[in-house]
C-alpha cells in the first residue's frame, strides 16, 4: 500500500525559489521567474543567496497563513486522497507498470512552478510540490497526476529511451510531452486540460495522433513510446506563414520538393582582433554552393528553439565553440532576426554571435558542408560583398545587413 503524505516545509519551499533563481533561464521555453511580480523579481536578481532568502521569506508570509495552510493540509489532501486509488490504478493501467514507490510526499509551495523530486530507482519515496495557485484554482488532481506520471516515465522509460537512441534532452522532452495522454485517458478526473509547454506542441500532437491510432482495447504505452522515438529521430521542420505561425510539419527532405517558410539559426562568432568568422560553403552543398556564409547555420527542427538549433548546428558543423581566454564553451547571444522570403529561399532567421572571442584553431569544419573558415572584420566583409556580391550567399548578404545594424 502506498502512503500519501502532505507536508508544510518552508525550507524546502525556499530551496525551490533559490534553485530557479540560480538557473535563471527558460525550462522547455518557459522561464518561471518571469511569472513573478516584476518588482519582486528585480529585487531578487543579482543578490546574494542570504539576501534572496530574506526577500523570499518576507514575500511568502502572505501565503503561510493558517487559512492557506488548511486549504493545503485539509482541502487539497482530501481531494487527492479521495481519488488517490483511482489515479494510481489508471496510471498503472496506462503504463502497464506498477507504481514504483511506497511513499508519495506532497509539499506546499509558493513559487510559480510545481517541481517534483525524483531520487532514482533505489528510493521508495517520490516528492512533488503543489503551490497556492494550484489550490486556489482547484486543479490539484491534474497537477498531482501529471507529476506522478513523470515518476513512471523516469523509473521505467528513461533508460529505455536512451538505449533506443534519444538524447537526454529528447528523453526529457518526451517525458514532459507524454502527459498529453491525461487529456485522453483522464479527462473524467482532471479539472482542466493538461496544456504542456509550448516547445512540446509538435511532439504532443504526434503522441496524440499515435495513441488515437491504436485500437481502443489494445492500447500499448511501450509501443507508443517506440513509435514516438522513431518520429523524434526523424528530423522534422515546421512550415510557417508570413506571421510566423506553424501551418504544417514535414521531413526536412520536403524542402527539396518545394520551398516553404521555415526557421533557421545562424552564428557569426567573434574571434581575435575584433573579427568575425565566416565559412566557405562546400562546392556541392545546396543551396548556394561555394559561397561565403555564416560560420554556422541550419534549419531549426520542429519543437526546437532557435537557440537550441544554433547550438546543435554548431556542434554538427564545426564542433564546440571554445573561448580563446577560458578554453571553455562560449555562450551565444542573439543579435538580430529577419524574414527572408524570396524564390531562392524562404525562412525566418535568428542570428547569434558569441559572448566571447573564440579560438579558430579549435574548430573542426565538417567537410561535407564547409570547405574552410576565415576571420574577417566587418569592414572587410562589406568590401568583399561590394566587389563580388555573388561570392556570398544571398541569405548571408541579408543577414549581415541586420547583423551590423544591431551588433553591440
Summarised one tens digit per residue, pLDDT across range 11-62 is 999 999 999 999 888 777 788 999 999 999 999 998 999 999 999 999 999 9
Structural domain tally of the chain? 2
Q: Is residue 105 part of a domain?
A: yes
Residue at which a domain ends, from 152, 168, 188: 152
Q: Is residue 201 part of a domain?
A: no
131 with 258, same domain? Answer: no
pLDDT of res. 143: 97
Which one has a higher pLDDT value, 248 or 346? 346
Residue 68 near residue 44 (C-beta atoms within 8 A): no
Q: What pTM was estimated for this model as a whole?
A: 0.66
Q: Is residue 162 part of a domain?
A: no
Distance CA 88, CA 357 (A): 53
Distance CA 339, CA 264 (A): 10
Q: What is the mean pLDDT of the chain?
A: 94
Mean pLDDT to the nearest integer, 209-214: 94
Q: Is residue 206 part of a domain?
A: no
pLDDT of res. 30: 83
pLDDT of res. 211: 96
Which one has a higher pLDDT value, 327 or 261? 261
Contacts of 215 (CB under 8 A, 6+ apart): none
The model's pLDDT over 366-402, given as tens digits with 9 standing for 90+, comes to 999 999 999 999 999 999 999 999 999 999 999 999 9
Q: And the C-alpha cell for 157?
A: 522509460
Confidence of residue 235 (pLDDT cuts 50, 70, 90): confident
Confidence of residue 283 (pLDDT cuts 50, 70, 90): very high
pLDDT of res. 25: 82
State the virtual CA torsion across 149, 85, 126, 97 in degrees, nearest 10: -50
129 with 260, same domain? Answer: no
State the virtual CA torsion across 70, 71, 73, 79 in degrees, nearest 10: 150
Residue 164 near residue 157 (C-beta atoms within 8 A): no
Mean pLDDT to the nearest integer, 124-144: 96
The model's pLDDT over 148-169, given as tens digits with 9 standing for 90+, comes to 999 999 999 999 999 999 989 8
276 with 131, same domain? Answer: no
Mean pLDDT to the nearest integer, 64-88: 96
Mean pLDDT to the nearest integer, 287-300: 95
SS in 3 state form for 370-386? EEEEEEECHHHHHHHHH
378 with 262, same domain? Answer: yes
Residue at which a domain ends, from 125, 152, 179: 152
Listed range (143-147, 303-307, 339-343) with the worst mean pLDDT: 303-307
Which one has a higher pLDDT value, 211 or 199? 211
Segment (H or E) for 296: strand 296-299
383 with 268, same domain? Answer: yes
Q: Is residue 318 part of a domain?
A: yes
Q: In this model, does residue 324 exceed pLDDT 90?
A: no
Distance CA 311, CA 306 (A): 9
pLDDT of res. 250: 81
Mean pLDDT to the nearest integer, 224-252: 89
Q: In this model, does residue 118 exceed pLDDT 90?
A: yes
Query: Residue 332: which domain range?
Result: 250-406
pLDDT of res. 234: 78
Q: Is residue 341 part of a domain?
A: yes
Distance CA 334, CA 341 (A): 21
141 with 254, same domain? Answer: no
Q: Is residue 41 part of a domain?
A: yes
Cis-peptide into 287, omega within 30 deg: yes
Residue at which a domain ends, from 152, 173, 192: 152
CATH of the domain at 325: 3.90.79.10
Residue 330 near residue 358 (C-beta atoms within 8 A): yes
Q: At which residue does the C-alpha cell 547571444 appear?
A: 333
Q: Is residue 128 part of a domain?
A: yes
Confidence of residue 320 (pLDDT cuts 50, 70, 90): confident
pLDDT of res. 256: 85
Amino acid at each position: 500500500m502506498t502512503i500519501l503524505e502532505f507536508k508544510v516545509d518552508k525550507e524546502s519551499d525556499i530551496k525551490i525559489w533559490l534553485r530557479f533563481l540560480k538557473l535563471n533561464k527558460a525550462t522547455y521555453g518557459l522561464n518561471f521567474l518571469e511569472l513573478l511580480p516584476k518588482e519582486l523579481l528585480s529585487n531578487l536578481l543579482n543578490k546574494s543567496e542570504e539576501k534572496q532568502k530574506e526577500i523570499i521569506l518576507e514575500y511568502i508570509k502572505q501565503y503561510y497563513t493558517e487559512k492557506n495552510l488548511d486549504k493545503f493540509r485539509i482541502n487539497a489532501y482530501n481531494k487527492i486522497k479521495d481519488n488517490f486509488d483511482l489515479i494510481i490504478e489508471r496510471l498503472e493501467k496506462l503504463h502497464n507498470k506498477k507504481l514504483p514507490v511506497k511513499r508519495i510526499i506532497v509539499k506546499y509551495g509558493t513559487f510559480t512552478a510545481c517541481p517534483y523530486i525524483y531520487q532514482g530507482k533505489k528510493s521508495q519515496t517520490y516528492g512533488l510540490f503543489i503551490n497556492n495557485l494550484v489550490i486556489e484554482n482547484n486543479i490539484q488532481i491534474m497537477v498531482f497526476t501529471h507529476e506522478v506520471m513523470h515518476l513512471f516515465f523516469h523509473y521505467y522509460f528513461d533508460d529505455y529511451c536512451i538505449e533506443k537512441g534519444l538524447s537526454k534532452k529528447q528523453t526529457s522532452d518526451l517525458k514532459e510531452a507524454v502527459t498529453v495522454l491525461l487529456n485522453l485517458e483522464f479527462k473524467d478526473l482532471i479539472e482542466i486540460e493538461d496544456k504542456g509547454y509550448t516547445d512540446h506542441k509538435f511532439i504532443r500532437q504526434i503522441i496524440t495522433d499515435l495513441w488515437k491510432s491504436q485500437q481502443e482495447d489494445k492500447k500499448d504505452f511501450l509501443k507508443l513510446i517506440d513509435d514516438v522515438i522513431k518520429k523524434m529521430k526523424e528530423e522534422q521542420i515546421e512550415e510557417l506563414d508570413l506571421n510566423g505561425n506553424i501551418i504544417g510539419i514535414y521531413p526536412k527532405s520536403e524542402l527539396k520538393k518545394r520551398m516553404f517558410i521555415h526557421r533557421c539559426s545562424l552564428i557569426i562568432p567573434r574571434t581575435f582582433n575584433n573579427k568575425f568568422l565566416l565559412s566557405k560553403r562546400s562546392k556541392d552543398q545546396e543551396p548556394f554552393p561555394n559561397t561565403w556564409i555564416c560560420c554556422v547555420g541550419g534549419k531549426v527542427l520542429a519543437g526546437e528553439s532557435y537557440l537550441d538549433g544554433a547550438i546543435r548546428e554548431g556542434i554538427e558543423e564545426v564542433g564546440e565553440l571554445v573561448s580563446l581566454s577560458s578554453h571553455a564553451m562560449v555562450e551565444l547571444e542573439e543579435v538580430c532576426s529577419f524574414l527572408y522570403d524570396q524564390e531562392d529561399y524562404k525562412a525566418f532567421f535568428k542570428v547569434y554571435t558569441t559572448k566571447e572571442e573564440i579560438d579558430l584553431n579549435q574548430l573542426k569544419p565538417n567537410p561535407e558542408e564547409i570547405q574552410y573558415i576565415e576571420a574577417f572584420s566587418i569592414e572587410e566583409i562589406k568590401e568583399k560583398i561590394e566587389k563580388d556580391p555573388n561570392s556570398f550567399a544571398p541569405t548571408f548578404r541579408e543577414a549581415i545587413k541586420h547583423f551590423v545594424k544591431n551588433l553591440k
